[in-house]
Chain A
Amino acid sequence: NAGVTQTPKFRVLKTGQSMTLLCAQDMNHEYMYWYRQDPGMGLRLIHYSVGEGTTAKGEVPDGYNVSRLKKQNFLLGLESAAPSQTSVYFCASSYTFIGPTNYGYTFGSGTRLTVV
Chain B
Amino acid sequence: AQSVAQPEDQVNVAEGNPLTVKCTYSVSGNPYLFWYVQYPNRGLQFLLKYITGDNLVKGSYGFEAEFNKSQTSFHLKKPSALVSDSALYFCAVRDSYGQNFVFGPGTRLSVLP
Contact = CB atoms under 8 A, between A and B. Distances in A.
A98 B9 CA distance: 28
B43 A108 contact: yes
Nearest to B44: A107
Given A42-B104, A107-B45, A100 B99 contact: no
B94 interface: yes
B51 interface: yes
Contacts of B9: 40
B100 A45 contact: yes
B51 A99 contact: yes
Given A90-B44, A98-B32, A109-B43, A103 B103 contact: no
Interface residues of B, number: 22
Contact of A43 (B32, B41, B90, B94): B90
A42 B105 contact: yes
A73 B76 CA distance: 33
A104 interface: yes
Interface in A58-97: 58, 90, 92, 94, 96
19 contacts: A4-B43, A35-B103, A42-B103, A42-B104, A48-B99, A92-B44, A98-B32, A100-B51, A103-B46, A103-B49, A104-B92, A104-B94, A105-B34, A105-B36, A105-B44, A107-B45, A108-B43, A109-B42, A109-B43
Given A42-B90, A105-B36, A107-B36, 16 more contacts: A31-B99, A33-B100, A42-B103, A43-B103, A58-B100, A90-B44, A92-B44, A98-B49, A99-B51, A104-B32, A104-B101, A105-B34, A105-B44, A107-B43, A109-B43, A110-B43
